[in-house]
Structures are given as C-alpha cells and as structure tokens.
C-alpha cells in the first residue's frame, strides 16, 4: 500500500477558466481518512484556492456531495481506503451548474423543494390549550425513513431524468412531499398535488431507481415516487367516480 | 468577483457510463420487442379471420427458422423485463410486507396464470385436432 494518494480534482475559476479543468494533488494516505480530509489537507497545505462545501464531517449536514470516481457520494463518507491504488477523481455533482471548483449552484433545487410545500399543513387548526397533535409510533413508522433526507442532492446527481428535463421536481423533493402526505397530522395532500402530480412531478420519473441506490440516508425516493403514483391514480379514480355521481 | 456558472452538457452516451443506467436502457428496450411480438399476435388474428390459407401461411411464418429466432428473442427480452420488474416491485407496493414476500407473490401469480393459459391453450388445440 502506497503512503500517498493521488487526487484529480475539477478546477473552475469563472475569472480564469473558460471551462473546467482537472488538477492533480498528492496527499498522504491515512486509513481513517475520507476524501473530505484529503480536500482539507490540500486547502490547508498545498493550495488554499481549492473551493468546496462542507460542514459537519459526519454525513448529517448534506453539504459535501461530490462525484467521486463518477459516483455521487458525500465526500465525508467516502474512505480513501476504498479507492486503493487508484487515482481518485473528484468532480462537482452532476446535473448542476458549477459555481467554482467542486461547488455547484443549487438554486433550482431550492425552488423545487419549496414548490412541494415540505412542511405540516395542519388538518385542523387547534387552539394552544387543546394540546399537541398526537401520533402513535406505528403512525410515525409509516413515514419516518423519509424524514431522514438531508438535501445532499446525491439523488439528483444520479437521476438521468432530472438532467433530461430540468423542470422535473426530482427525487428528494417528491420524497419529502410523500413524507408529509403520509403524516396523520397533515392535511396538505391536495395543495401539494398541484405540483406533485403535474407534468413536472411524479410522472416524469421513469423508475430508473438510481436515486435510492446512491442515497446515503436510505430514504428510498424511488419507492416514495412509485407509491405516490399509485396514490395519485387512486385519487384520480375516486374524483372521477364522485364526479359521475353528482 | 463575477459569477459565471458553468453548465455541463449531458453526453449522448450517458447511459453507457454506468452499469445501472445500461441496465435501465436495456429494460426500456424490452418494450420494443414486446410491441413487435404484440404486432405478430395481431397479425395472427388478422390471418385467422382471412381464412385457412392465410392462417397456414402465418403458421409457416412463425415456425420458420427466422420466426422461431424472433420469438425466442422476444421471450428473452420479456423474461428480462419480468424478472427485473419483479425485483423492484417491493418499492411500488405501499405495504409493510417483507420484500421477499412481495417478489415471491409475483412469481406465484405468474406461475398460476401461466398454468391457466397453458391449460386453456391445450383445450383449444385438442378441440381443433378432434
């Protein structure tokens, strides 16, 4: 095992480069280092101009998503030891404009996220004196894994549909919409349906399944979207029957 | 400092770059063969309606070497489609049933329907012989 690792990293300075280029750096190898440690080593010791996002270093904040050897990964969760004897290629997340180096512009996602109303819309407004909106552990278990999303955007980088149609709401936002729709305290399903079941919503998903494969928090957006398709179809049939009756 | 976000273009060969997207595109391709096989069945019905001579020529077509190869190809793609579809069905089923049970149930229903179709087909074939 070599005691150094070679990293080939995308560099893009909008004031210098007309398009992104690769730059190589040799960093010391440590068995317990992740790619983010190597990037921080470069920034601290070799090249202070290297720009990347990170915050928690423990797969919670969702800031440090990058393409590592072509696969969307959290750089704090990608160990150097898993890329032994290979150059590690670090690129910005696929499908997003590059702001600088491996930092991407995520404005489009922020708009999509807001469009699905990812918050509780109370079924019935209650006075404070009436107490909490109670929920049983079984009711929570139905959607709990969807709450684990950290908006790291690895699923968007993995999904070909989000790149083929840039208006597609995409995996994380649709999974969050499903999470709130499943919540027993929520009454916002109709309000969300406007976006969720639109042309840019669930029906743009062709069930590639890549989003669920790369999700570091096991949220399984592909499942959320397929289940939303079923639920939306049932709602459509119901509205059709009710329409005929009246 | 000026902003000038760089937009990368998606390559035409995007689906060749990873195993999972290659598999996905193969799955999408299966629809072509299933469509062609459906057209073959429709042709069979048309020829059946046109009389015994037309029907015999249809039988000759599907039992020819090219016809058999085509049907085997369609069968292989249909099999690939079914197996990969069954493998992802647990995601689409809004039940808390174990994944293996959901997949197993699909295979069980497939087997039952196949047996029923074969029994029905056998009865019709017997009927035509007698």
Interface touch B91/A209, C-beta < 8 Å: yes
A210 plus A149 within the same structural domain? yes
Interface touch B28/A226, C-beta < 8 Å: no
A&B contacts, CB < 8 Å: 66
Token readout for B112 is 């039952």
Confidence (pLDDT) at A146: 95
A149-205 per-position pLDDT tens digit: 999 999 999 999 999 999 999 999 999 999 999 999 999 999 999 999 999 999 999
A146 plus A235 within the same structural domain? yes
B35-80 per-position pLDDT tens digit: 999 999 999 999 999 999 999 999 999 999 999 999 999 999 999 9
A62 plus A82 within the same structural domain? yes
Where is the domain boundary, A104, A122, A155? A104
A155 plus A227 within the same structural domain? yes
A210-221 per-position pLDDT tens digit: 999 999 999 999
Give how many domains chain A has, as a whole number. 2
A118 plus A8 within the same structural domain? no
Q: Residue A156 belongs to what domain range? A: 107-245
A79 plus A186 within the same structural domain? no
A37-60 per-position pLDDT tens digit: 999 999 999 999 999 999 999 999
Interface touch A160/B15, C-beta < 8 Å: yes
Packing angle, helices A221-245 and B65-92, rounded to 10: 90
Where is the domain boundary, A104, A125, A148? A104
A135 plus A178 within the same structural domain? yes
The gap from C-alpha A11 to its chain's centroid, in whole angstroms, comes to 23
A70 plus A10 within the same structural domain? yes
A11 plus A127 within the same structural domain? no
B70-108 per-position pLDDT tens digit: 999 999 999 999 999 999 888 888 777 888 999 999 999
ipTM of the complex: 0.88
Here the CATH number for the domain that contains residue A84 is 3.10.20.30
Where is the domain boundary, A38, A69, A104? A104
A76 plus A19 within the same structural domain? yes
Chain B positions touching chain A (beta carbons under 8 Å): 1-8, 10, 14-15, 17-18, 20-21, 24, 28, 88, 90-94
Residues of B in Cβ contact (< 8 Å) with A67: none
A237 plus A126 within the same structural domain? yes
Confidence (pLDDT) at B127: 56
Interface touch B3/A99, C-beta < 8 Å: yes
A116 plus A237 within the same structural domain? yes
Here the CATH number for the domain that contains residue A233 is 1.10.1060.10
Name the closest residue on chain B to residue A138, using Cα atoms: B96
């Amino acid at each position: 095992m070599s005691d150094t690792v070679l990293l080939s990293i995308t560099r893009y300075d909008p004031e210098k480069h007309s398009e992104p280029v690769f730059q190589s750096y040799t960093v010391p190898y440590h068995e317990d280092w992740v790619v983010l440690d190597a990037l921080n080593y470069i920034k601290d010791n070799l090249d202070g101009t290297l720009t990347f996002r990170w915050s928690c270093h423990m797969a919670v904040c969702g800031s440090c998503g990058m393409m590592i050897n072509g696969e969307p990964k959290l750089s704090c969760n990608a160990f150097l030891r898993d890329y032994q004897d290979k150059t590690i290629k670090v690129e910005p997340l696929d499908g997003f404009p590059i702001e600088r180096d491996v930092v991407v512009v995520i404005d489009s996602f922020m708009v999509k996220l807001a469009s699905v109303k990812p918050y509780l819309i109370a079924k019935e407004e209650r006075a404070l004196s009436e107490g909490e909106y109670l929920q049983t552990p079984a009711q929570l278990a139905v959607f709990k894994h969807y709450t684990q999303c950290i908006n790291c955007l690895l699923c968007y980088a993995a999904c070909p549909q989000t790149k083929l149609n840039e208006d597609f709401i995409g995996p994380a936002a649709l999974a969050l919409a499903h999470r709130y729709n499943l919540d027993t305290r929520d009454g916002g399903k109709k309000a969300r349906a406007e976006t969720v079941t639109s042309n840019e919503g669930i029906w743009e998903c062709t069930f590639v399944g890549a989003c669920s494969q790369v999700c570091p928090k096991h949220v399984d957006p592909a499942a959320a979207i397929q289940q939303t398709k079923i639920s939306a179809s049932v709602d459509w049939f119901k509205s059709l029957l009710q329409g005929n009756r009246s | 400092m000026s902003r000038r976000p760089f937009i990368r273009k998606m390559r035409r060969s995007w689906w060749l770059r990873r195993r999972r997207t290659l598999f996905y595109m193969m799955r999408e391709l299966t629809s072509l063969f299933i469509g062609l096989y459906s057209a073959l069945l429709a042709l069979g019905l048309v020829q059946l309606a046109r009389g015994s001579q037309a029907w015999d020529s249809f039988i000759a077509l599907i039992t020819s070497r090219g016809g058999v190869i085509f049907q085997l190809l369609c069968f292989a793609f249909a099999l690939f489609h079914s197996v990969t579809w069954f493998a992802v069905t647990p995601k689409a089923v809004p039940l808390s049933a174990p994944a293996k049970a959901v997949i197993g149930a699909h295979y069980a229903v497939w087997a039952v329907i196949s047996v029923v179709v074969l029994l029905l087909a056998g009865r019709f074939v017997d009927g035509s012989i007698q």
